[in-house]
Amino acid sequence: MAINIEQVVGQFKIEGTYSEAKIFGDGLINTTYKVKTSENDQPNYLLQIINHHIFKNVPELTKNIQRVTDHLRLKLENIEGSDLKRQVLTPIDTFDGNGFFKDEDGNYWRMFLFIENARSYNQLSNANQAYVGGKAFGQFQSRLADLPGGPLYPVLPDFHNTEMRILNFQERVKQDPVGRLKEVKEEVDFLMQRSEEYKKIVQMGREGLIQERIVHQDTKFNNVLLDEKDDILCVIDLDTVMPGYVCYDIGDAIRNGANTGLEDDRNLDNVSMNIDLFEGFIKGFLEETKEVLTPAEIDTLAFGAKLLTYEQAVRFLDDYIDGDNYYKVIAPDHNLVRTRAQIKLLQSMEEQYEKMESLVQKYSS
């Protein structure tokens, strides 16, 4: 059935009159629209179809986001000069009080206030942006450290459980459901040769050497909005905020942000890790978090960058072998292109690993 967006918007308590909706942003998971209102003095909105094949419990997901944004807003209220409409996401409630709307086709919709005059970048152009990105995710984590009301609901259990992801990947390789394995033997071998090394963080957690904290878990650079001066505005895309290890956030930020190429670059010569951008992320992140992190956690940060890049390569290749059921793709080989770019990035990190570790030491002492 054709979607009537105006009717969907009518379920939410918006201010102003619906005027138009246009597809917006470059997320790989949800479908996002910018909704404009016709009055100049009324806000615009962001409307999303939540990918409920991935996020199966939408009511609990909605509660998590409500709790997280309420807490962040409370923190901002105590910081002079805060802009409560732009420095934290504002979810819009529905008339039935659920905070989401399920349409006749089974799609789940939600709305936020649109954050105006914000930029989100898919690629960084300088180390200052990396520093700001690191600071944004560090600040996000430290502000949520005292979230009341018990643990958040684990919306995606084992999301960054690399040990589990490797086991699932091995199973997928065995099944080879759409006959693509023959094209990717080299990539599978590369990843399997390293599988023991990348089970380390989960093992450390099991042994009680590192603890779980509330972390974002999807720290792509386009999930932080910056203002016109490239200062931190707001961390967005809160679907995966859950208990997890600290190296997941800084690791994924570096994986995504310190790449000299694109996540899906077909030209592998473009892809490498820029050590200056790495340094910017680490400096910003540790400025916000070093007081609370334990020495064991600090020791995992450089490793986290390799871990998340490795895991992402496993996830993209797993989806390719499975026939592209998870990530949005724009070409039949898109997930394979992404896998190869992650592998190239990982190799570049392996080459620079000593330097990465020494920068972590520098900014944590």
The reply to whether 297 sits near ligand GN1 by the rule CB under 6 A is no
Site size toward ligand GN1, by CB under 6 A? 12
Alpha-carbon separation of residue 362 from 122, 199, 226, 279, 351 (angstroms): 28, 26, 27, 10, 19
Strands 45-50 and 232-235: unpaired
Which option in Mg ion, ligand ADP, ligand GN1, none does residue 263 bind, with CB closer than 5 to 8 A by kind?
ligand GN1
**Distance in angstroms (rounded) separating the CA atoms of residues 158 and 252:** 16
Binding region for ligand ADP (CB under 6 A): 24-25, 27-30, 32, 46, 89, 112, 114-115, 118, 120, 222-223, 236-237
Contact 318, 172 (CB under 8 A): yes
Q: How far is the CB of 220 from ligand ADP (least distance, A)?
A: 7
Q: In this chain, which stretch among 13-21, 117-125, 217-225, 340-348 interacts with Mg ion, using CB under 5 A?
A: 217-225
The reply to whether 133 sits near Mg ion by the rule CB under 5 A is no
Restricting to residues 175-194, name those near ligand GN1 by CB under 6 A: none
Instruction: Tell me how far the alpha carbon of residue 159 is from its chain's centroid.
Output: 11
Q: How far is the CB of 238 from Mg ion (least distance, A)?
A: 10
Closest to Mg ion by CB, 225 vs 282, is 225
The reply to whether 240 sits near ligand GN1 by the rule CB under 6 A is yes
Q: How far is the CB of 1 from Mg ion (least distance, A)?
A: 27
Which option in ligand ADP, Mg ion, ligand GN1, none does residue 114 bind, with CB closer than 5 to 8 A by kind?
ligand ADP
The percent of the chain in helix, strand and coil, each rounded to the nearest 5, is 45, 15, 40
The reply to whether 319 sits near ligand GN1 by the rule CB under 6 A is no
Q: How far is the CB of 25 from ligand GN1 (least distance, A)?
A: 9
Closest CA to 5 of 101, 145, 91: 101
The reply to whether 237 sits near Mg ion by the rule CB under 5 A is yes
Q: Is 179 exposed, middle or buried (0-12, 13-18, 19+ CB in 10 A)?
A: exposed
Which option in ligand ADP, ligand GN1, Mg ion, none does residue 32 bind, with CB closer than 5 to 8 A by kind?
ligand ADP
Closest to ligand ADP by CB, 118 vs 209, is 118
Strand, helix or coil at 213? strand
Tokens of 350: 């392996």
Beta strands across the sheet bearing 31-37 = 18-23, 31-37, 45-50, 108-113, 101-102
Contacts of 240 (CB under 8 A, 6+ apart): 155, 156, 159, 216, 217, 218
Q: Is 85 exposed, middle or buried (0-12, 13-18, 19+ CB in 10 A)?
A: middle
Phi/psi for 129 (5° steps) reads -60, -40
Binding test (CB under 5 A) with Mg ion, winner from 11, 223, 309, 348: 223
The reply to whether 27 sits near ligand GN1 by the rule CB under 6 A is yes
Binding test (CB under 6 A) with ligand GN1, winner from 163, 187, 237, 319: 237
Binding string to ligand GN1 for residues 43 to 82, with x set by CB under 6 A, is what? -----------x----------------------------
Residues that bind ligand GN1 (CB under 6 A): 27-29, 54, 218, 220, 223, 237, 239-240, 263, 312
Residues that bind Mg ion (CB under 5 A): 27, 223, 237
